[in-house]
Structure formats: structure tokens, C-alpha cells
A and B are shown apart, each in its own frame.
Chain A
Amino acid sequence: MSSTSTMTRTATKPAPSPVYAYAGKILRVNLATGKTWTEAWSEADRREYLGGIGLGAKILYEEVGPKVGWDHPDNRLIFATGPLAGLPVWGTGGLTVITRGALTGGATSTQANGFFGATLKYSGYDAIVMQGQAKKLSYLYINDDVVEVRDAAHLAGKDTWETQQALETEHGLSGHRLSVYAIGPAGENLVRFAAIHGDYGHVASKNGCGAVMGKKKLKAVCIVRGTKALAAHDTRGLIQAADDIAHDLKTDPSTSTLYNYGTLPGVVNLSKLGVLPIKNYTTNLTGDVDMKEWEAPALRGGFDHRGHQCNACGMRHCHIQVIPKGRYEGERVDEPEYEGWSGAGWTIGLTDKYSVSWLNTRIDRACVDVNEFGWVCGWVMECMEKGYLTEKQVGFRLTWGDTEGAYKLLQMISHRQGFGDVLAEGVKRASEKVGGKAAECAIYTMKGASPRGHDHRGRWEEMLDTCTSSNGTMESANPTFQTEVGAPGRINPFDGEQVAKLVGMIRGRRHFEDSLGGCTFTFRTKMANLARALSAATGWDYRLEDAVRFGNRTAAILRAFNLRCGIGTEVEYPSARYGSQPVDGPAKEHDIRKQWDRMLDVWYETVNYDRKTGKPKRDLLRSLDLGWLEKDLYGKK
């Protein structure tokens, strides 16, 4: 084993003691020089920025200027966890990846789970901030105070599972003792929708964060489970709060399905609402597919499987499975979540569950965002069917539901081969390049972000959020006990004003969740419950109103970052197909385009941003104690 830098024992100033819930240090890595160092962060900063995207947004804003593009060495790649990571609350191995992303060219926050967040905290760090670009393919090795940028030549070209296996073998550690987040070939080849994959089945997928990692020539971050202690201020109170959250997850009717099956019930439920994306939005009818076979128990049934839970998690939704029959018999796969079933399945007309499972895992292993893959592949399939793309252009004939063809396309994209080089830019850029009728079939936001694996023409709140958000994905989370922030429990989903008001009111919840170091699924509880757990962990008196304020603060910082990058109100709308009226299905009578401008008006009014400039208004910034941001946005007066 060789290393690109000599072993570094990080010089550390001890953080003030006691530091409840936090490791108290941020690890800094300059990949260009191999230099590593740590910074303590103050109690006041911890309370204000929490961790995850809260911390990451601050660092991104302060350190990544408007001229530092996603592929610039000075871009930061931040892996940040939060105060609940590593503590006895379900699903607390989470990390959030924050960077300037390759699809939108703006801020990115994308969250994933497994063990990384806990492992990082046990090693003594709340976050890793990586800057610079390594001279050759490298990986970051962390074992408590030993932090090294090591040569990764032997990992070049390996997919994410192969990379993890190779590092496990190299270090003689497996299972929970080593956490690895890595890129596959798509990241190495700077595919704009490359993701970062970790711990066999967890993906930080949004906005091309894997391309940023690839540009930095960083193949993987590999952490040996550390030996540092973490302390909660009130252990008993924390466990009580954690038990209450777990109890709610198990017994609340809407979350108990999540507890038992993860997001598998989404396929059938969303199909009944016209929200399941089928064949690139060309229909909302499930046709002759027996939907009983797509109920959660049936989807899981038939596979040999075992639980593959994240850190401290009692949920039953992460599974490693073995395909029992058919062409892929014997292959080990990660059970797809809903977005896998949609992106690797329904969106591309593929409804054989074994094939979808196989393809979904292949997409993860290549480190490609399954949502964007669905939009790209579905677009190619539709365009070939309609003659907008030819076999000569694409290189082969691709038709709906063709598993092997989709896999071939995945390989072409991941290695930027042939037409795959065009597609590797994402469906927005690819469709704009091809032009003509083909351009009208592509699903994207004008910012360039990938919508999640839904047909948002039947779920307007997510379309509005995806188009207005500043993080490359979404900033709200609905439906999630929105009545606690005064939003109505039910709205008319096709009344633009009601939708816009709801989205504005619940915005920021996801930022709060993604700053705590846990899983969005195990945190599907009232924010007040999460605030209670946070209070017990840290010793603060943290309440619902603090969480709401935190979400709004974080959203304002991300908004200011994007405005500084030149991403403004002029790109806050869906592509022609994304915003079109469905031709059939439950939402066919409803056309969001007729209400879009009014929705934006109401949303801007609700979040208290200026409709024309997109800036958070002065009074809002002052109420959020963001005077420094006000100065940046409006000048000194």
C-alpha cells in the first residue's frame, strides 16, 4: 500500500469540555497537498448551525465564491453528520453531502445513511471538509486520529460495491467496523448525475455530487469505526425521546408501513393518485400489470433476504436480497426503495420486479442517481419509439422495459461512450443538444435538477418545491405532520394557491432533519419530538419554533448562495414535459401551467422573499439574525 502523503497525526486543540452530543471537531482535508487538520467549533455555532446541511451551508457560503464552479479545485465537498448521529436514536448513521453541484451549478444537499455518520463521530469528527484536487486517484483513510490521503490506483474503474469490498479486504475489516462512501465509474468519468454510494445500498444521489468527488480524484472515504466516546447530556431523556419516536413509527398508521416496508407501498398508493411516473410521463395508467403484485408484501416476497439496517435502527425496511430466479438468479441486490422501483422500473416501462431490483443495484454500483437515470433512459426510449432519436444516433435499439438495453445505456453513460457521452450531461443538457421534438419530451427543472421519482403533475407541491428549492432537490417534506406548523392537514392538491401556501409553510423541515445526523424515514415524526431528542442530547432547550427558524435560516443561506452563483427566479419553472397536463389517469383534468405564476406569487409571499429578485426580504433576514447575509444581499444600509 502506498500513500500520497505521509501519515498525518492531526494536530488538534482540545474542544471545550464537556461537548455533549458532538465530537466537537471538523476535519479538514486538502486533497492537493495531503494536508489534514482539525478545527473545533464553538457551542454557539453548534446551536446555530447544528450539523449536516446547516453547517454545510455556512461553510459553502463562506468558502465557495461565485467563480468557483462545481469542477473547480476550490469547490468544497463536505460530508457532515449531526448531533444525533452515533447516539441511541433509530437510524442515526446519517450524513449529508454538501457541495456546489454539477447539475444546477448551485448549492447541493443530499442525505444518505448506513453507518458513516456514527463512525465519523466515533472517530472524533462531526464533519469532513475536503478541498483541492488530488494529483492522482486517491482515497481518504480515517482511523481515529490517523487521517491519510492514500493512493487509489488499485480501485480505479471499480464499482461502488467492488470498491467497498476491496477496502474491506485491504484493511481486514467488514460489516459495521468499516464505513465506505465511494464513487463508481460514473463519478470517475464526471457524469453530471453521478452519486456517492456507501455501505451497500445508501446513496447521496442529488445534483452530481459524485461528479464533484470524481473531479477531486477522490475515489472513496473509508472510516474505521472509531474509539471516541460520545455523551448525551441527558441519556435517560434521550432514550425516552427515542423510544417515543420509535413507538410512533411503529404504531402511527401512516408511518407503520414505513416501519415494516420502507417506501415499498409507494408504488400502489401513488399509482392511485396519478403520481407514479410511467413511461416517461406518457401515461398514468398501469395497463395490464397486476398491481396486487406491487403491494409491499408481494414486492418483498419471493426474495431470499435479510435485514440490512443502519446504525441503531429497528426499522424493517433495508434489506439485502438474493434474486431467486430468472436471468439474474443468484445475484445479490439491495432491496429498492420506492424511487428505485420507479426510476429503474415504471419510468422506463420495466415491471418485472426481479429485473428492476437487479438494474437498480447496478445503477447504485455505477454511482448514478436512479431518478435522473430514469428520466434519461425513459427519454431515450420514448424518443426512439417516436422516431425523434434514431438507432444510428443512440448506437442500438432501445425499447420500453428492455432491461439489458437499459443496462447497456447505463454502461455507455458511466463510461461516456458514444451517445452516452451526451446523456452523461443529464437529460436537460442532452435534450437541449438534440433539440427538435425530442427536447419536448424531457423531464427536468429549468435549474437542471432532477425531480424525484414521481409524476409531479399529480403532486404539485413537490413540483413547486423542486423548482424553487436552492439545494438541488427539495427543501420541504410532505406529508409529515404539517399541522404542527399551522399548515392544514388537507388541501385541494390541484388548487395552486393552497399548494403554494403549504409548500412555503413547511419549507425547511428537511433542512432540520438533514442536520441531525439521522434518516429521513426514522425522523418521520413531529419536529417537536426531534427537538426533544436534540434537547436531551445536547442540554439545550430546543423547541419546535427553533427548528422552524433553523430551517428558514438554512434555506435563506442556500438561496443567497445560489443567487450569488447567478441562479435566480428566471429558472424557476418546469420543462415542457415536466409541467405538462397528463393525458390520462387521476390527474388528467389538471394543468399546473395555468396556475404556475400565481403559485409562485403565493409561495414568495409565504416565505417572505422578493418575487422579482428572489432575495429573502430584509425583515426576514433580521428576524433570523442573518444580518451578515442582509449586508451581502443588499449592501451596507
Chain B
Amino acid sequence: MDVAGKAEAKTTGEPERAQIEVTTWVTKHVGGDGTGSKLFDEAIGRGDTTRSVLRRFTAKFPELDSALWSPDHTELGSHIEVLVNDEVLGVSYELDSPLTGGERITLLGQFMGG
């Protein structure tokens, strides 16, 4: 597993963080080769939700941004599964569920067939 970037350095009074794991073909959108996983840390602030954290994260990667979201950025597109703590979004977490830090968000490329 390749730890590819750290959004912000930890300091005293450091914010809580969530880990974002980008996997399989989705890694191509964040500088990977389409295999394996790339890990990122993302700071979590007061009032953050799955949506706001993902919006902030994908803003750094334009290709991922257009792949993950619907054109108007209000909904997720249909090609990337979002898991929070290993559960598909919609089970324990919704897009607008608050995050408090320590969560792991996984972006898993949907595949067809099989």
C-alpha cells in the first residue's frame, strides 16, 4: 500500500483526521497506475461530513472530481463506490453524515461483469 500524500502536517492542537483510501482503477485519477491502493490523510473540522471531506479532497484532483461526482456536484456519480469504515455508503454513513475523525473512506472503482 502506497502512502501518497499528507494533506496537512500534524501540529499541536492538530485537527482530527480521516484516512482516504483510493483503490484499483480510481488510483489513476490520483497519480497511480490503476492498481493497488493509495492512502491520503484529510483533516476533519467541525461540521465536516462525508460529502464535505470528499469535496475538499477531490478538488485537488480534477479527474477524480469529475469521476466521483455528478456534473452538478450534488450527488455521487454511478461509477465509484464509497465505503466508510468498510461499509458501503448508505448503511451506517450517508453522504451527509458527520465525520468526527478516525474514519477510513475508501473509493472503490465499480466494475461490471463477474
Contacts and interface: CB of A to CB of B under 8 A. Distances in A.
Contacts of A113: none
Contacts of B110: 253-254, 269, 479
Contacts of A254: 78-79, 109-112
A254 B113 CA distance: 10
Nearest to B86: A586
Interface string B43-71: 00000000000000000000000010000
Contacts of A13: none
Interface in B91-108: 91, 106, 108
Nearest to A524: B112
Contacts of A298: 35
Contact of B114 (A337, A483, A489, A495): A337
Given A252-B79, A272-B106, A479-B78, A258 B90 contact: no
Given A253-B67, A263-B113, A480-B112, A493 B90 contact: yes
A258 B35 contact: no
A295 B109 CA distance: 12
A266 B108 contact: no
A369 B66 CA distance: 41
A298 B34 CA distance: 12
A480 B112 CA distance: 7
B5 to A, nearest CB: 20
Nearest to A586: B86
A258 B88 contact: no
A524 B91 CA distance: 27
Contact of A257 (B25, B86, B89): B25
A255 interface: yes
Q: On chain A, which size bracket covers the interface?
A: 35 or more
Given A273-B88, A586-B86, A521 B113 contact: yes
Nearest to A270: B114
Contacts of B81: 273
A253 B68 CA distance: 10
Contact of A493 (B34, B80, B91): B91
A479 B114 CA distance: 11
Contacts of B108: 269, 272-273
A491 B76 CA distance: 12
B25 A494 contact: no
A268 interface: yes
A586 B80 CA distance: 17
Contacts of A295: 24, 35-36
Contacts of A491: 90
A93 to B, nearest CB: 17
Contacts of B114: 263, 265-266, 270, 337-339
A483 B78 contact: yes
Interface residues of B, number: 29
A492 B90 contact: yes
A517 interface: no
Nearest to A272: B108
A256 interface: yes
A297 interface: yes
B78 A265 contact: no
A529 interface: no
Nearest to B70: A489
Interface in A233-277: 252-258, 262-263, 265-266, 268-270, 272-273
A249 to B, nearest CB: 9
A631 B29 CA distance: 57
Contact of B35 (A252, A292, A480): A292
B77 to A, nearest CB: 8
B19 interface: no
Contacts of A263: 111, 113-114
Of the candidates B24, B77, B112, the one having the most CB atoms from chain A within 10 angstroms of its own CB is B112
B79 A253 contact: yes
Nearest to A519: B113
Given A292-B35, A483-B78, A520-B113, A265 B24 contact: yes
Interface in A278-301: 292, 295-298
Given A292-B36, A493-B88, A266 B76 contact: no
Nearest to B88: A493
Contacts of A590: 91
A269 B107 CA distance: 11
A491 B34 CA distance: 26
B18 interface: no
Given A257-B111, A292-B35, A339-B114, A265 B88 contact: no
A483 B36 CA distance: 29
A213 B56 CA distance: 59
Contact of A297 (B35, B77, B78, B91): B35
B25 to A, nearest CB: 6
Given A253-B67, A257-B25, A295-B24, A265 B87 contact: no
A269 B90 CA distance: 18
Contacts of A489: 75-78
A296 B91 contact: no
Contacts of A490: 76, 78, 89-90
A338 B106 contact: no
A268 B113 contact: no
A265 B25 contact: yes
B59 to A, nearest CB: 19
Given A268-B24, A295-B24, A297-B35, A255 B112 contact: yes
A467 B78 CA distance: 27
Contacts of A296: 35
B30 interface: no
A286 to B, nearest CB: 13
Contacts of B75: 489
Nearest to A255: B112
Contacts of A253: 25, 67, 79-80, 109-110
Contacts of B89: 490
A485 to B, nearest CB: 13
A492 B24 contact: no
A10 to B, nearest CB: 38
A202 to B, nearest CB: 15
Interface of B: 23-25, 34-36, 67, 75-81, 83, 86-91, 106, 108-114
10 contacts: A252-B79, A253-B80, A268-B23, A272-B108, A273-B108, A295-B35, A296-B35, A338-B113, A491-B90, A492-B90
Given A257-B24, A257-B109, A338-B114, 4 more contacts: A253-B79, A258-B113, A490-B76, A590-B91
Interface of A: 252-258, 262-263, 265-266, 268-270, 272-273, 292, 295-298, 337-339, 479-481, 483, 489-495, 520-521, 524, 586, 590
